[in-house]
Amino acid sequence: MSEPQHSTLPMLSRRRLLGLSGGLALTGALAAACGSNTGRGGGSSGGGGPALSQWYHQYGEAGTEQAVQRYAAAYRQARVTVQWRPGDYDQQTAAALLTDAGPDVFEVNGPSIDQIQGGQVADLTEQIKNARADFNPAVLAPKTYQGRVYGIPQVIDMQLLYYRRSLLDRAGVRPPQTLDELVDAARRLTTKDTKGLFLGNDGGAGVLGQGGLPLFAAGLQLVTDDGRTGFDDPAAAQTLGKLHTLYASGSLLLGAPADWSDPSAFTQGLTAMQWSGLWALPQISKALGDDFGVLPFPRDGSAGRPAVPVGAYASSVSARGKHIDAAKAYAKWLWVDRTEYQGDFALSYGFHIPARISLAKKAAKLRSGPAADAVRFSTDHGHALPLLWTPKSQVALEDAVSRIIKDGADPAAQVKAAVATANAELQRVRRKTG
Amino acid sequence: MLSRLLGPQRRYLWFWVFTGPFVIGLAVFAYIPLLWSIGLSFFDAHNTVTPTHFVGFANYGSMLSDTAFTSSLATFAVFSLFIVPATYALSLALALMVNRLRFARAFFRSVFFLPTACSYVVASMIWKLSVFNGVRFGLANTVLGWFGADPAAWLSTTRPPWYWVVIVTVRLWLQAGFYLVLFLAGLQRIPGTLYEAAAVDGARPGWQVFRHITFPQLRATSVAVLLLLVINAFQAFDEFYNLLSTARGYPPYARPPLVYLYYVALGQGQDLGLGSAGAVILALIIAVVTVVQARWFGLGRKEA
């Protein structure tokens, strides 16, 4: 759910894809020769003890890399080498975990159910034990499988709806509280040069499809607590159908030079409302001053509730590392014990909510204005991608939402197809449990 | 004994010294992964390359019954049906024109060839961000604006499917120059005496000469060009991925098989068994099409 790289688009060539898939076998063969130090990336090192390698994805904000190296250097029980990895980070770690050449401690937009069931990540329940209640439950839940914790949440990223106060006032539109009001507001805010709403260049299929946000707003779930599909319901089709109305009304901005994750379209006045991430708030605030407000995705239907997507990169330990206990101890030291580093990491460089509730409450930058609203949304209305919601289910739902939005496909039939795929996937991961 | 192993003048030794590194490289980077991948396709291989749970043809079954995968096969069939003739015609036409030039031929040859040196990723970014972006100041929309038309959201509109314009033009721009050079080489190999003989026999310059002299003489080149074009079309990934993917995934239209496999099986969700099955199916299709095509055109037969 969290948005790893706000500034760069994912770039990949066929050669690299084939390299990834075909080269997997090779990586295994070479791994024995390489050891845990791959020689890539410069890092810092701290005290004595075993050598650990720690991976981070490349954060866009200046200073983050220096900060994590500073933390690592302060650790005395092991020599920690930090690798800062640009590119398709999730794919890189997924491939590296198949080998012995992978990281010992790594941040991960997961770990995924298959990584946990495959025994690729170590159990961190003991390490998080003393502070478990202090972690935001919405983001800790997807890192937890059968009561055991496999990743320590680092910081929370979330997405929300930004609106331009002055444009809404001029058009006499109230900030929308329901999906119908949002459709209406977008229409009334659309002028010759400004569109009403920007949900991404795909008309919202990506941001609204993959995470199933409109389904949460309709009072449904992706996966129920007992591991079954939670949106096999007529309300799902009804809500998703309204997204097509929005698209067909001509009030959505499409084909902007920078996609939804970047606030440029909003700050440049191409749109009156935009869906984006909390990370964009400092930039918007700088460009527009007080002339903006934030909203969750509005509720729909009688059982509906407002919803925002939340997600967290977690720190996990590879089960194939040479020094698993040392790696666990380091992960605990950095992401459980050293709260001052956690606070610094969340808010000194980028703009994230600390994963610890106590830290989020203390943070001065999150106490007033839209930032405080955002924290409130994330606590009251936050939904993370469930652990059992596999990439295959994500693709299926996103396909369905895209076809509904853009092609005007029959919502009921599309939901049914997505439910079928999700059922099969959930059955697969449940079977492994037994 | 040793001298027999080394061969006369140590030829065998030198043979292996020269070819050995390449044979090893080919084995390690191509054949072993290939065979391994075929092996994986018969296993339930989630997040592992050394699976233990043999599932037979189950991965193939689920891949072939997956409508998203079969529709992606249809996508690239349509794509290659269009892009292969289009590139062929465009590069042949350009080659004929460049070949007739009296001066600055080298200049135009280079100009048309230059895009080949451009990366697919870079070209896709330029197409997506400046030429065909959806706002009013994009290049294509500026041109539309001169004629009073509304700006189009090129990559997000499915009705009509404007995104094909973007995908096809970027590939034409990128690869036409390369095939132009192949055709030029072919054209220059046609003996001038043939044209003289045709002129003596009363063939009119233009279509008649092209139809009966130039085109048949280009047969070898044409076959090679078509084969390369088809394989390239089947392997489409770069421009599709970079034009249409977002941070959140890939739309369900214009999705070639490699892109689909990347999202469901070979990227973050490491279902390597299923992904390998899809890759093997794709490889088989490419192999069959290539063989059929080669037979059809009589590749490898002695030129009469």
pLDDT digits (tens, 9 = 90+) for B5-22: 777 888 888 898 999 999
Distance between CA atoms of residues B133 and A374, nearest Å: 31
- Chains A, B: CB contacts within 8 A come to 182
If 0-12 CB within 10 Å is exposed, 13-18 middle and 19+ buried, where does residue A382 land? Answer: buried
Q: Return the pLDDT at B104.
A: 85
Same fold, A14-157+310-383 and A159-309+386-433: yes
Structural contact between residues A387 and A115, judged by C-beta atoms closer than 8 angstroms: no
State whether A98 and B270 contact (CB < 8 Å): yes
- Domains contained in chain B, CATH given: 58-297 (1.10.3720.10)
CB contact under 8 A, B267 and A391: yes
- Establish if B249 touches chain A: CB-CB under 8 angstroms: yes
Beta bridge partners of A353: A156
Would the pLDDT of A8 be above 80?
A: no
Confirm or reject contact between A29 and chain B (CB < 8 A): yes
Q: What is the band of A35 on the pLDDT scale with cuts at 50, 70, 90? A: very low
Q: Which residue has the higher pLDDT, A217 or B68?
A: A217
CB-based contact (8 Å) between B271 and chain A? yes
Q: What is the mean pLDDT of chain A?
A: 86
- Tell me the CATH number for domain A159-309+386-433: 3.40.190.10
pLDDT tens for A383-399 read: 999 999 988 898 899 99
Neighbour-count burial of A332, counting CB atoms closer than 10 A to its CB (0-12 exposed, 13-18 middle, 19+ buried): buried
Please check whether residue A315 is in contact with residue A232, taking contact to mean a CB–CB distance below 8 angstroms: no
How far apart CA B172 and CA A199 sit, in angstroms, is 31
Residue B254 with chain A: CB contacts under 8 Å? none
Number of C-beta neighbours around residue A290 at 10 A: 10
A383 in helix, strand or coil?
Answer: strand
Q: From chain B, pick out residues whose CB is under 8 angstroms from the CB of A90.
A: 267-268
Angle formed at CA B165 by CA B161 and CA B168, multiple of 5 degrees? 125
User: What distance in Å separates the CA atoms of residue B16 and residue A191, rounded to the nearest whole number?
Assistant: 73
What homologous superfamily is domain A14-157+310-383 in, according to CATH?
Periplasmic binding protein-like II (3.40.190.10)
H/E element holding A342? helix A339-347
Averaged over B113-119, what is the pLDDT?
Answer: 90
For B241-293, how does the pLDDT look when each residue is reduced to its tens digit (9 = 90+)? Answer: 888 887 667 888 888 888 888 888 876 677 889 999 999 998 898 889 888 88
Pair of tokens at residue A340: 């001052």
pLDDT band at residue A125, thresholds of 50, 70 and 90?
A: very high
A290 to each of A142, A167, A217, A281, how far by Cα in Å?
35, 13, 28, 11
Domain layout of chain A by residue ranges: 14-157+310-383, 159-309+386-433
Q: Residue A98 and residue B49: Cβ atoms within 8 Å?
A: yes
pLDDT-derived band at A365, boundaries 50, 70, 90: confident
**B104-131 burial, b if ≥16 CB within 10 A, otherwise e?**
eeeeebeebbebeeeebbebbeebbeeb
Distance from CA of A321 to the nearest CA of B (A): 16
Taking the CB of residue B161, how many other CB atoms lie within 10 A of it?
11
The span from the CA of A334 to the CA of A82, in Å, is 13
Higher model confidence: residue A201 or residue A309? A309
pLDDT band at A16 (very low <50, low <70, confident <90, very high): low
pLDDT tens-digit series, residues A323-361 = 999 999 999 999 999 999 999 999 898 889 999 999 988
CA distance B252 to B111: 36
As separate numbers, helices (DSSP H) first and strands (DSSP E) second, chain A gives 19, 12
Instruction: Give the pLDDT band (50/70/90) at residue A47.
Output: low
Q: Does A415 touch chain B (CB under 8 A)?
A: no
CB atoms A25 and B237 under 8 Å: no
Tokens coding A103? 């990281």
User: B242, A11: Cβ pair inside 8 Å?
Assistant: yes
Q: Find the residue in B nearest to A108 (Cα).
A: B268
**pLDDT at res. A24:** 43
State residue A334 phi and psi, 5-degree precision: -75, -45
Nearest residue in A to B141, CA atom: A255
- Is B239 touching A (CB cutoff 8 A)? no
Buried b (16+ CB within 10 A) or exposed e, A231-252: bebebbbbbbbbbbbbbeeebb
Question: CA of A256 to nearest chain B CA: how many angstroms apart?
Answer: 6
ipTM comes to: 0.71
What is the b/e burial string over B137-156, where b = at least 16 CB atoms within 10 angstroms of the residue's CB?
A: ebebbeeeeeeeeebbbbbb
Tell me the range of A84-88, A126-130, B6-10, B239-243 where mean pLDDT is highest: A126-130
